[in-house]
Amino acid sequence: MEIFTSGARQDMLNCAAMPSPPSESAIAAVLALTEALFDSLLDDEPWGRFLDRLKEDVRATHATLILTPQDTRRPAMLLTQGGDAKVSAEYSESLFLEDPFIGLPDGKVCRYRDFVAGLPHLPDDAFNEFIGRIGDEIIGLDLRGLGSFEIRLRASRAPGCPAFAAREIEVLQGLARPLRIAGRLFERLQADKIERHIYSSAADYMALGVIMLDRSGLIMRTNSQAESILVAQDGLMRQGRRLVLADRGQARQLETALRQGEASLILAVQRAESSGPLGFLAYRVNAPDYVAEGDVPAMAVYLSDPGRKAGPPPQWLMGQFGLTAGEALVAAAVADGCSIAEAATRIGIAANTVRAHLRAIYAKTGVNSQAKLAGLIHKSLF
């Protein structure tokens, strides 16, 4: 695969002078960085390992990735490896709209000083002061046409450091194509994650516990409702990673269903401490043969407890307050009493993303705090 096309190389030369063709060192670095890039998408903190590797490879003080929708006042995501969290917050909150180093030619590396020198207006005093602190030795790559957002990749060096050489510019340019693909994959992964959480939240709303079992009957995952049922140890419990039914006959039925791969098993689990039985439906999960056994569940167990209360469903929140799917998940978490950190863990997104969603929710609902938002939701429910 040719990473650098002749047209892309010429456009890059127009932005940041460099020799041609790219060096073998740059091509090897791009291949290694591409591997780190795609690997990092599956991490709990996506992009982080890639930015660490990029920072090290081009000997940057900071490596920054910004994901931003068009016409937004704040970045949706800003990650800086080697940076100060306070500086990142200052940029996001106060200087993002003043940044002149935006709108770079799509997919072409540019140097900050060269790009800004060609603008009709100089940066304002606040941004000049900011650049004076972090340094103006910055190279950047913008990628658009990714759907709902654009990617901005930046590598910078502190004041007094030497300028980025041609080899570092070659590396950044070589990342344009893989980064564009990674951006599309990331958007799809995030959409899938939100959809899964909508279904999970719907199960929580219906007071439905969900347990995923492997082929040995060991617990792989549970939702919050199932976890609270297991903790009660009333008719159904957890012993280590094993799901245990108190009734021996029912326990044997579950073992047989797992061993023989039965399509479904329906039980009424009697409980000593509760007035009514626990509904128990075990349903076989069909997975392709090429998927490793340990990666997907063999059976899903659904638990219905009539005595449990329901919380606000995200789909209702979307319709009631005009929220997006992501905002609705955050609002539901807040209504359940979650902090920002707890909501981030529950949904599987960054805390800064939760804060961004909250700002949008406040604007749509007219409240200005998590407590008021929770109160508004509960009042609307009842």
Domain that holds residue 375: 314-381
**Residue 200 domain-assigned (yes or no):** no
172 with 248, same domain? no
The predicted pLDDT at position 289 comes to: 63
Q: What pLDDT does 16 receive? A: 53
Question: Do 80 and 88 contact (CB within 8 A), yes or no?
Answer: yes
**Domain termination residue (choose one: 250, 270, 304):** 304
What's residue 3's pLDDT? Answer: 45
Cis upstream peptide for 22 (omega within 30°): no
Task: Write the CATH number for 367.
Answer: 1.10.10.10
Separation in Å, CA 324 to CA 60, 102, 145, 194, 352: 37, 27, 21, 10, 17
pTM of the model: 0.62
Write the CATH number for 298: 3.30.450.20
Whether residues 55 and 169 fall in one domain: yes
Dihedrals phi, psi of 284, to nearest 5 degrees: -65, 140
Say whether both 288 and 338 belong to one domain. no
Residue 167 lies in a domain: yes
Could you tell me if 98 and 229 lie in one domain? no
Q: Provide the pLDDT for residue 13.
A: 40
Judge if 322 and 340 occupy the same domain: yes
Is residue 225 assigned to a domain? Answer: yes
Assess if residue 196 is contained within a domain.
Answer: no
Output the six-digit token pair for 163: 């300028």
Does residue 53 belong to any structural domain of this protein?
yes
Of 281, 304, 327, which residue is a domain's last? 304
The CATH number linked to 101 is: 3.30.450.80
Q: Do the domain assignments include residue 201?
A: no
Q: What is residue 15's predicted lDDT score, i.e. its pLDDT?
A: 64
Q: Do 85 and 141 belong together in one domain?
A: yes
Q: Kindly state the tokens that stand for 100.
A: 């002149």
pLDDT tens for 172-222 read 999 999 999 999 999 888 887 777 766 666 666 556 788 999 877 889 988
As for how many domains the chain has, the answer is 3
Same domain, 16 and 118: yes
Under-50 pLDDT residues of the chain: 1-14, 17-19
Choosing from 265, 281, 304, the residue where a domain stops is 304
Element (H, E) at 7: helix 6-15
- Same domain? 239 vs 334: no
70/125 same-domain check:
yes
Q: Give me the pLDDT at residue 47, please.
A: 94
Compute the distance between CA of residue 335 and CA of residue 337 in angstroms, rounded to an integer: 5
CB 293 within 8 A of CB 214: yes
* 42 and 183 assigned to the same domain: yes
Q: Check if the beta carbon of residue 269 is closer than 8 Å to that of residue 245.
A: yes
**40 shares its domain with 171:** yes
Strands (DSSP E) along the chain, which ranges?
Answer: 62-68, 77-81, 110-111, 137-143, 150-157, 208-213, 219-222, 236-239, 242-245, 264-269, 278-284, 299-304
Give the chain's end-to-end CA distance (angstroms, integer): 60
Do 367 and 324 share a structural domain? yes
